[in-house]
Amino acid sequence: MHPVLVGREWRPANAVGEFSAHDPNTGESLDEKFPISDWVDCDLALTASAAAAEELDLTPPDSIAEFLESYAQKIDDAAQDLSELASRETGLPVSPRLLEVEVPRTNGQLRQAAAAARSGVWREPVHDESSDLHTCYGPLGPVMIFGPNNFPFAFNAISGGDFAAAIAAGNPVIAKAHPDHPGTTRMLAELAHAAASEAGLPDATVQLLYGMGPDDGLRMVGDQRLSAISFTGSRPSGMKLKAAAEAGGVLAYLEMSSVNPVFFLPGALREEGSKLAQELAGSCLLGTGQFCTCPNLCVLVAGDDCDHWLSEVSTAMADREPGVLLSIATLRSLERSVAALAAAGASVVTGGARLDAPGYRYQNTLLSCTGETFLASPSALQSEAFGPATLAVVAADEEQAVSIARAIEGSLTACIYSATDGSDDQLSSSLMTVLRRKAGRLLNDKMPTGVAVSPAMNHGGPFPATGHPGFTAVGMPAAIRRFAKLDCYDAVRPERLPACLRTPA
């Protein structure tokens, strides 16, 4: 059984059980065994992380930046082996998805975080010389990160954007491995541990636990030795962690369910309906529909082009080879979600069933319902179907389309496709007014599945997409400020101020 990374070293776990990852292509268990830790491991990690936080306060930003840059280089050097291992555990293809896309994205985030740590841009110093007041953002304290299953590198608890942001702010991290790719996370942790040692960072700056029992996990996230948790995953799990964390006064940053609505206005369908049908199918099925920004809901207005367009979407989805889902849990969740949508009044247009094939596969699925049906049960018809599925809602008229927009829950993204001749402008304007309050990122004439690693990106949104609409999980330096606190210094001698405050701006 693999050891855990607690304190300064890899050590045998105080295990109450074990688990293995599975190959999604076959459903067969992989050989490596990983421990489920008891409270002893959790307690040791929390104590070590609290001590590391104090030492990191005295660590120069250059050392933190050097760690992030060195870690990125180590991932580059091991990219082939990492990608092959991640592919075995997730079913995602080595090329281009992992090796050419996700590894460079991951290292780009780490290097952007390093640049922000070195420059201190995230600290935003403010001076009031007349009152001898000075403020800046500083480290928050130990952060525990729960990564998702769908991005084994770019959102991994020990290499992803949340990890990079927390470390850049000078916080130690306790990473909780996702059970779908524990071997990949172990290999990343070995690289991170080596890079941290070489950069001279305090012991326990980076720690890794593979799993713990539900009670110990909830106890851990509410422990006051932690300052924050970061979670990406399902809404039920996120809400349990949020409640436990907040009961202990620990901040919880969550990315959960998001239906990412796309509105196709009448003029847009007249101008290029066939092209848009292909775009929608491609976005819904990208990564087997296992992106947090995949459109789970599309809205169109009833008319002459509507039925024909839905038929084109159905054909486009049915014609594409179904992909592999990440795990048996993902497959079962998708089955439950499609059943729930059908029970709430949606009809299956195409797909709607598990494939009789090895591994974890589900038919590409399109469902539909009327706007009246949606408005009668908006919550039930917004059950996120994480996988190759989407729901088309056909509004009776433009007024009902706006009513549907008002009933949509908070989402990461919202998109409007409109005509170039101006015929959709009035409806588009009305929808933008509503959707601006519903989504973290608003798009026009573009599918939402791409998330650029840019300082201008907002990968966040109103509840239930996230736990707080004021923060983003992508884009430095904004993502760093989730793991920072605002520090005010009142009449503090200049030589005792943080370096970023010693020279007034």
Compute the distance between CA of residue 84 and CA of residue 80 in angstroms, rounded to an integer.
6
E-strand ranges in 380-463 read 389-395, 411-417, 439-444
At 299, give phi and psi (nearest 5°). -125, 135
345: left (phi over 0), alpha (psi -120 to 50) or beta: left
CA 307 – CA 91 distance, rounded (Å) = 35
Contact call for residues 141 and 228 (beta carbons, < 8 A): yes
Q: Start-end ranges of CATH 3.40.309.10 in the chain? A: 262-444
User: Does pLDDT of 504 surpass 70?
Assistant: no
**pLDDT, the chain, mean:** 96
Q: Residue 128 CB: number of other CB atoms within 10 A?
A: 11
- pLDDT score, position 304: 77
Which CATH code fits 4-11+33-256+466-501? 3.40.605.10
Closest C-alpha to 267, from 298, 309, 296:
309
Mean pLDDT of 419-439: 97
Q: What integer pLDDT is reported at residue 425 of this predicted model?
A: 97
How large a percentage of the chain has pLDDT more than 90? 97
Which DSSP letter does residue 36 get? E
255 is catalytic: yes
Span 140-152, pLDDT tens digits: 999 999 999 999 9
Q: What's the residue count for the chain?
A: 505
CA distance 262 to 417: 8
Q: In this model, does residue 248 exceed pLDDT 60?
A: yes
Q: Tell me the three state secondary structure of residue 392.
A: strand
- Residue ranges, comma separated, of all CATH 3.40.605.10 domains in the chain are 4-11+33-256+466-501
CB 141 within 8 A of CB 226: yes
**What gap in Å lies between CA 381 and CA 38, rounded to an integer?**
39
Range with the poorest average pLDDT among 48-52, 251-255, 301-305:
301-305
> Hey, what are 80's tokens?
């082939």
Half-sphere exposure of 293 (CA within 13 A, CB side): 25
Question: Pick from 418, 457, 416, 460: which is nearest to 439 by CA?
Answer: 460
User: What residues have CB less than 8 Å from 20, skipping those under 6 apart?
Assistant: 29, 30, 31, 32, 33, 34
CA-nearest of 410, 367, 369, 365 to 387 is 365
Q: DSSP secondary structure string, 245-290?
A: HHHTT-EEEEE------EEE-HHHHHHHHHHHHHHHHHHHHGGGG-
Q: pLDDT at residue 107 above 50?
A: yes
Q: Where do runs of H (alpha helix) occur along 60-154? A: 61-77, 79-90, 103-119
What confidence tier does 334 reach under pLDDT thresholds 50, 70, 90?
A: very high
Helix, strand and coil content of the chain, in percent to the nearest 5, comes to: 45, 20, 35
Q: What is the model's pLDDT at position 450?
A: 87
With cut-offs at 50, 70 and 90, classify the pLDDT of residue 387.
very high
Which ranges of 286-367 does DSSP label H, i.e. alpha helix? 306-318, 328-343
CATH number of the 262-444 domain: 3.40.309.10
- Quote the pLDDT of residue 250: 98
Distance CA 383, CA 336 (A): 10
Q: Output DSSP code: residue 355.
A: -
- Pick from 291, 263, 253, 143: which is nearest to 478 by CA? 253
**Tell me: the pLDDT tens digits for 203-239?**
999 999 999 999 999 999 999 999 999 999 999 999 9
Q: Is the pLDDT of residue 108 over 90?
A: yes
What sign for the dihedral angle of Cα 68, 72, 73, 77? positive
Burial 179-214 (b: 16+ CB within 10 A, else e): bbbbbbbbbbbbbbbebbeebebbbbbbbbbbbbee
Least confident range of 30-44, 95-109, 491-505? 491-505
Q: How confident is the model at residue 505 (pLDDT cuts 50, 70, 90)?
A: very low
The percent of residues above 70 in pLDDT, for the chain, comes to 99
Which residue among the candidates 255, 279, 312, 384 is catalytic per the annotation?
A: 255
* pLDDT, tens only, 391-422: 999 999 999 999 999 999 999 999 999 999 99
Could you say which of 42, 136, 284, 292 is catalytic? 292
Q: In the annotation, is 55 catalytic?
A: no
Tell me: pLDDT of 85 over 70.
yes
